[in-house]
Structure 1
Amino acid sequence: MTITATSARPRAIQGTLDDLGTPLHEVTFVVLDLETTGGSAHADHITEIGAVKVRGGQVLGEFQTLVNPRVPIPAVISMLTGITDSMVALAPRIEAVLPSFLEFIGDAVVVAHNARFDTSFLKAAALATGNRWPEPVVVDTVYLARALVTRDEAPNHKLASLARVFHARTTPDHRALHDAQATVDVLHGLLARVGSLGVTTLEELATYSARVPQATRRKRYLADDLPSAPGVYLFKDGQGRVLYVGTSVDIRTRVRSYFTAAEQRRRMGEMVRIAESVTPVVCATALEAQVRELRLIAEHKPRYNRRSRHPEKAAWVKFTVEPFPRLSIVKEVRGDETTYLGPFSSRAAAEDAVAALHDALPLRRCHERLSPARPTPACALAEMGRCGAPCTGAQSLQEYAEVVARARAALLGDPLHLLSPLEERMQSLAHDERYEDAASLRDRLLTLLRGMTRTQRLAPLASSPEIVAARRSPLGGWELVCVRYGRLAGSSRSPRGADPMPYVDALTQSADVVTPAAGPAPAAYPEETEKILRWLEEPGVRLVSVDGEWTCPVGGAVSAIARFGAAPLRPATAFES
């Protein structure tokens, strides 16, 4: 269960010490559930809201409405919820619904099953519509159930399983009001269990959820001597092995949170029990801290870090260097003067990109090294017309070179003219109601475009000998960054009121000497270079000096992603017209 840091309703009369707090039977709860078009609060939309207001076991009111999301509802979501485009076509939009729903919530305690999901959508909707999110107390029945319902009672902590345990009067069916009604009965069953443990007030409920094992509490001393400064921290075991690497704007405050109820990740609890020391690495800027975190994770591969542990496993796609080039997936970029695409996070992603390119152009797929002077028998793809058959001599060296040139131009510039036929094919599949095939094609296409985007964005920075940039520091003065061949070579900060240029000169003189990598790869792991790019593109960042050319093609892969990523896979319905 998660309870946010807001207080319960003030009480008019304070009794004895035993009476302090808000009795649970006096708390007004609004138990809510949302149905949406997907799982991202920033990219998807609400399609239905259902809520029940209860106090003392009594239902005070209900709220239910469909919401027009203004986008098509994915077929898999319609199958899950039963909510279709036609059902929401005449429904009100979220800007009309949200004010009345926030009024329904009032100052009540909000309850939801997996509350982070529901509240993230409501917060995003409030921000988008100009409404103020009231920051209510939030109770998550998932977290409470994990502490109170054993595996012997239920195989998992899904709402349907808990509804059976607590004999809910309503069966959850992925419709908002029904799920909210079922959650009410689950909530009452869970409150009855904590009541038997002596938890009778909202404040005690918060204390109950905040219980931390004594073994964890005793390790709070590990944070005592840490600096209150931005940087990186490394949890280590008794043998000095790195268990976990993290970053924070305040190392001491962040590390202390691992020994409180604020840290609810089970694996982090296990890590804290093993840890015997914490090593801080103070950094001059937030960007430096993020980069150092990536490098330390790649170096030590801590078992409790789940991301960025194996950046060396990135894959690239390249054209082979031979008379009839083909696409090949490789682990590294070599200086062989050919076109590379990527990097991709995995070989599987690279294979999807290759498949999309093969869908777009009749590039050969055979692995043999072909010679214009020695024809070989045609393969099945050539017989199907999906390859120009350079192997047999049916396609000349010049004709095949034109196909390769079109592919290279698209990879390094604007891919729309090349990929438009794929968009037409995708829409044709959707028109024939082959939605899974259309979605599969779109996913391959988007993977290819993401690889193009990384190439087009990383390559110019990777080829620049030096870029120096500055941004106003929240503490005053300037944050200064020196980047060489896509790698962070150094960073520093000039004090408030001081001329920053002497600090810029000192930074460039003391920054690391960086050897360029074989282009288009940067001299750092791609994830580091991407973090640097995002920092350089943030509002308020100013370029101090640029040695090289830092550019990105207008109308390149970035704009294509926006087009193809938003392409609907079904015909427009009435509410979209």
Structure 2
Amino acid sequence: MLFPASGAGFRPPRHEQAPAHGDRPLPRTRPVPHEPLPYVQATIDELGTPLAGVTFVVVDLETTGGSPKDCAITEIGAVKVRGGQVLGEFQTLVDPGCEVPPYISVLTGITTAMVATAPRIDAVLPAFLEFARGAVLVAHNAPFDLGFLRAACEQTGTAWPAAASVDTAVLARRLLSRDEVPNCKLATLAPFFSATTSPCHRALDDARATVDVLHGLFERLGPLGVTSLEELTGLTRQVDPARRRKRHLAETVPHGPGVYVFRGPHDEPLYVGTSNDLRTRVRSYFNSSEQRSRMTEMVALATRVDAVPCAHDLEAAVRELRLIAEHKPRYNRRSRFPERALWLRLTEEPFPRLSAVRRTRPGAGVFLGPFADRRAADMAMAAVHEALPLRQCTSRLSPRVTTSACALFGMGRCGGPCTGAQSVAEYALVAEVLRAAVAGDPGALVGPLLERVDRLAAEERYEDAAVLRDRVAVLVRAVRRRQRLETLAAVPEFVLARPDGAGGWHLTVVRRGRLVAAGGAPRATSVRDALALLRATAETVPGPDGELAASVDETELVLRWMEKPGTRLVEVDGTLACAAPGTGGFSGFLARVEAGRALRDPFADGRRLGTRSRPDRVVVA
């Protein structure tokens, strides 16, 4: 926008100039012609909203948990500032309508008795929104606080104001280096910026500390030339110019579901991903929506993007798994090493024992798993040893040779087959409990463990009960997973169909748990003809019958796709049935454990708060 210049560049006509003191007024004559007025470009300060004139409301909440779906607000604290001056404060406890969990009381100091007489959120919201009217909302980890406020507005029927927002956690990641602070948590930033108030998980104190952090971050904006609100809100959306220049890599990528592969300067796969819209997803890597530091580094190295169109989302997910397992791209974190999965094996010998192995072999014993890591495998093994007196020694025992007993025999944790106190037949009865649990009925194995959990809780030994409960949950999940995998491994072939949303069908052919063909039958076409073509061109699966022909992760993808609402089983060759009674009776127990896990870490939002390295950090040009 151009405006007339002022000062030396602009002179009023002579007849409009004020007369000097003592001079006679000039007669009114014709205006004297003068040169055209010059124009100059307005500055950023003139076009944007200066930060010094913006009113900010820094807000912090205390809640009963981490999700607004099933948790509520217990306290709201806010500080209104403008130009570095505090204009007002807002603080109130809020009755959440339920009891405050004990761990929340320990964390925040807010108890159920404290909020019993506090107003409900429908009475507090109008006052807070009036306090924040016309201001820019600021919060540390803004999605958490603003998410609860938006949810409260929806529940009470209150309109959420269309206000700008600033996340000081994101801003700190953009402006601070790891050499200055190890992470961008409020407890770390407050002492770094010499905040006058220490954050203590109370709303108003945390809001006051966030104000000092905000002002400290503003001091970092001056050398960068950021002086307006528009520049501040756009700071976190900055895109490195080198990354923006690589947008042409997405020009040849088609729309639709499939897999994309970023390749490096030596044609090596850098990253493999999947999407229902390939072109849109690949383009997002070259704009501000992609903020992961490792993805920024990956895009800087990429020279080409290959696309593999797929018939539907299941085929895309399976192809992604196979490509990651085959090439092991350095920027993929999950599924790179499926061969490293752990199994618990009940060995085949006169006195079998449990051992952790990497591979399964037909006829080599009973296998339970797989487990994602050693910790999960150890927890399941400990649960089995809690229930059954299986030997834990690693030596190979013979029924004809006896040795001295170990400490477990004296503790009653082992039947002592090494001493001859337990025969092969008696020991086989113990091992048969585990075999029956893996094959179909885990009740005899898990039932006594759950009874012990209840007994420990009744004795107020809550920590011991929680440890055993978690071990049992890992064991039950492993049994369920193994039974589900064996269900698909036993089926030579079956065909699935799902509606494609446009009147047609997505089709899938699976053989022994492996996706061997994928296609579709558009609207007004014959599904039978499409199936016949798919089965004729399907992959032939080698290997013995009854064994999985794919990785565990691939088979579980097929299982989840099969269990989605709307999926139909079109044809099946063989028997598709789950073991009875299976682990269905323990579904309620697993659901309670999952709910308890969310309560133990109520504020986990899955986002890393560590500072970011180049080129995300903003530096002075």
Per the normalisation by structure 2, the TM-score is: 0.78
The one-letter code of the counterpart of 1:186 is: V
Deviations 1:427-478 (A, max 9, x none): 4445555544333322222221221121122110122111211111134411
Q: Which residue of 1 aligns with 2:285?
A: 258
Query: Secondary structure in 2 aligned to 1:232?
Result: strand
Query: Secondary structure in 1 aligned to 2:418?
Result: coil
Give the drift of 1:479.
0.9
Quote the Cα distance in structure 1 between the aligned partners of 2:107 and 2:385. Answer: 34
Change in Cα spacing, 1:364 to 1:505, as seen in structure 2 (3 Å) is same
Query: Does residue 1:97 correspond to 2:121, yes or no?
Result: yes
The one-letter code of the counterpart of 1:537 is: E
The one-letter code of the counterpart of 1:530 is: E
Correspondences of 1:312-351 after superposition (within 5 Å):
312-336=339-363, 338-351=365-378
Change in Cα spacing, 1:334 to 1:101, as seen in structure 2 (3 Å) is farther
Query: Does residue 1:447 correspond to 2:474, yes or no?
Result: yes
Deviations 1:229-266 (A, max 9, x none): 22111111111111111111222221111111111111
Instruction: Work out which of the residue numbers 126, 140, 145 in structure 1 matches 2:167.
Output: 140
Query: Secondary structure in 2 aligned to 1:391?
Result: helix
CA contact (8 A) 2:405 2:416 kept: yes
Correspondences of 1:170-319 after superposition (within 5 Å):
170-194=197-221, 197-319=224-346
Q: Which residue of 2 aligns with 1:550?
A: 576
Change in Cα spacing, 1:156 to 1:566, as seen in structure 2 (3 Å) is same
CA contact (8 A) 2:73 2:121 kept: no
CA contact (8 A) 1:236 1:277 kept: yes
Change in Cα spacing, 1:111 to 1:453, as seen in structure 2 (3 Å) is farther
Change in Cα spacing, 1:236 to 1:152, as seen in structure 2 (3 Å) is closer
Query: Secondary structure in 2 aligned to 1:31?
Result: strand
Quote the Cα distance in structure 2 between the aligned partners of 1:432 and 1:196. Answer: 63
Quote the Cα distance in structure 2 between the aligned partners of 1:170 and 1:380. Answer: 56
The one-letter code of the counterpart of 1:415 is: P
Quote the Cα distance in structure 2 between the aligned partners of 1:451 and 1:361. Answer: 17
Q: Identify which range, 392-401 or 381-390, moves more after superposition.
A: 392-401
The one-letter code of the counterpart of 2:557 is: K
Quote the Cα distance in structure 2 between the aligned partners of 1:316 and 1:128. Answer: 47
The one-letter code of the counterpart of 1:409 is: A
Change in Cα spacing, 1:532 to 1:125, as seen in structure 2 (3 Å) is farther
Query: Secondary structure in 2 aligned to 1:226?
Result: coil
Change in Cα spacing, 1:247 to 1:434, as seen in structure 2 (3 Å) is same
Q: Which residue of 2 aligns with 1:159?
A: 186
Quote the Cα distance in structure 2 between the aligned partners of 1:33 and 1:99. Answer: 18
Give the drift of 1:65.
3.0
Query: Secondary structure in 2 aligned to 1:378?
Result: coil
Quote the Cα distance in structure 2 between the aligned partners of 1:114 and 1:263. Answer: 18
Q: Which residue of 1 aligns with 2:602?
A: none
The one-letter code of the counterpart of 1:236 is: R
Query: Secondary structure in 1 aligned to 2:172?
Result: helix
Quote the Cα distance in structure 1 between the aligned partners of 2:374 and 2:324. Answer: 21
| Structure 2 spans left out of the alignment, 5+ residues | 1-41, 597-621
Q: Which residue of 2 aligns with 1:377?
A: 404
The one-letter code of the counterpart of 2:559 is: L
Query: Does residue 1:470 correspond to 2:497, yes or no?
Result: yes
CA contact (8 A) 2:64 2:74 kept: no
The one-letter code of the counterpart of 1:543 is: L
Query: Secondary structure in 2 aligned to 1:262?
Result: coil
Deviations 1:352-393 (A, max 9, x none): 211110011111222233333433332221121111222333
Give the drift of 1:46.
4.9
CA contact (8 A) 1:52 1:59 kept: no
Query: Does residue 1:366 correspond to 2:390, yes or no?
Result: no
Quote the Cα distance in structure 2 between the aligned partners of 1:558 and 1:135. Answer: 47
The one-letter code of the counterpart of 1:172 is: P
Quote the Cα distance in structure 2 between the aligned partners of 1:293 and 1:325. Answer: 39
Quote the Cα distance in structure 2 between the aligned partners of 1:552 and 1:60. Answer: 64
Q: Which residue of 2 aligns with 1:540?
A: 566
Give the RMSD, CA atoms, in angstroms. 3.5
Quote the Cα distance in structure 1 between the aligned partners of 2:43 and 2:369. Answer: 67
CA contact (8 A) 2:495 2:570 kept: yes
Quote the Cα distance in structure 1 between the aligned partners of 2:117 and 2:408. Answer: 50
Q: Which residue of 2 aligns with 1:62?
A: 90
Change in Cα spacing, 1:69 to 1:551, as seen in structure 2 (3 Å) is farther
Give the drift of 1:224.
1.5
Quote the Cα distance in structure 2 between the aligned partners of 1:554 and 1:29. Answer: 61
Give the drift of 1:396.
3.0
Query: Secondary structure in 1 aligned to 2:482?
Result: helix
CA contact (8 A) 1:446 1:561 kept: no
The one-letter code of the counterpart of 1:386 is: R
